[in-house]
Structures are given as C-alpha cells and as structure tokens.
Amino acid sequence: MSTAMCLRLSQRRATISDGAARIMVIDDDTRSGPALEALLSANGWDARHVNGAQQALAQLRSWTPHLFIVDVTMPEKDGFAVAQLLRSMHASRNAPLIAYTSLSTDDLRERASLEDFDGYCQKGSPPDGLLELIAGFFLESGEAGNGVAGNQAAPAGEK
C-alpha cells in the first residue's frame, strides 16, 4: 500500500517567460478549490479556480496556465477525463498536470492509469508537500527542457 502524500510521476517541466507562473485549479469542491487558489496566490503564483471541465475550457479561451491541479473525483467529467481532454488540446498538452484527490495512489491506479498526470498529491496533506511538488515542475532561468520557454521558476521569495 502506498503512503506517499505528494509525488512526482514524470520528468515534464515548464518554464515561465511572462511573469508569475499561471496555475489552474480544477475542483468541484466549493471550499477546497478556492482555498487552494488562495494558498497558491499567497505563495506568488497566478492561480485561478474553476469548478470543472466546462469552466476550465471557457477559461482556457483567454488564459493559458503553465500547470494544472485536477481533482480526480468530480461529477460530469472526472479528473482522468479532464486530463485526457487537456492532453488533447494544443494550449495545454505539454503543461504539467497534478492529480489532487482524497484517493490514495493505490486507489487511483485501481480506477485508471495515471499516465496523463505528472504528479499526485493527496488532499489533506500538509500544504508544503504540494507547494514543493509544484515548484519542482518549473525550470530555473536558463535551464533547458520541454514546456514554455522563460525565466521564472518558483513563487516569489523562493529563488
């Protein structure tokens, strides 16, 4: 049984060229989604919360995140379907995706493949683990890698 609370699942990276890293939180929970948005914003990232796939698609018309945090257990489209949708779109196909859920990694693997996700964090974990996981997806200025070319890697105050 897996006990990891937050872990990296791929080597995908993104760099930022135009200010603070943009992070979209896709979560139908009307308390945890906005709370996570506030936490990320307080740590220097440009974060926005949406309630599900339809709102995410609408937001993507005018705002392109560098990273997505996706709740897995949502009505309409679950996090696996949302991840597949994001991977199929040009604007988001190379962005890191983090599965953010109350399910354990073992429970997730029983339900479906995690191949579309680049990270995992269990809801209720101390926030430092999630913040560290997110920061690890952004390249430092001048580093090479896939993703968006740019210069800001970590939230303000962590460089």
Residue at 154 is within a domain: no
Listed residue (12, 25, 110, 144) closest to 74, CA to CA: 25
Query: How many separate domains does the chain show?
Result: 1
Q: What confidence score (pLDDT) does residue 157 get?
A: 39
Answer positive or negative: Cα dihedral of 38, 76, 110, 65.
negative
Residue at 2 is within a domain: no
Listed residue (73, 113, 82, 117) closest to 96, CA to CA: 117
Q: How confident is the model at residue 148 (pLDDT cuts 50, 70, 90)?
A: very low
Q: Using N-to-C axis directions, what is the helix angle for 127-136 and 32-42, rounded to 10°? A: 60
Residue at 16 is within a domain: yes
Res. 156: pLDDT tops 80? no
Residue at 121 is within a domain: yes
Q: Which is it for strands 97-101 and 6-8: parallel, antiparallel or unpaired?
A: unpaired
Residue at 131 is within a domain: yes
The CATH number covering residue 111 comes to 3.40.50.2300
Whole-model pTM above 0.95? Answer: no
The domain of 77 spans 11-136
Please list, residue by residue across 10-36, b when 16 or more beta carbons sit within 10 angstroms of its beta carbon and e when fewer do. Answer: eebbbbbeeebbbbbbbbbbeebbeeb
Percentage of the chain with pLDDT > 70? 84
Res. 40: pLDDT tops 70? yes
Residue at 148 is within a domain: no
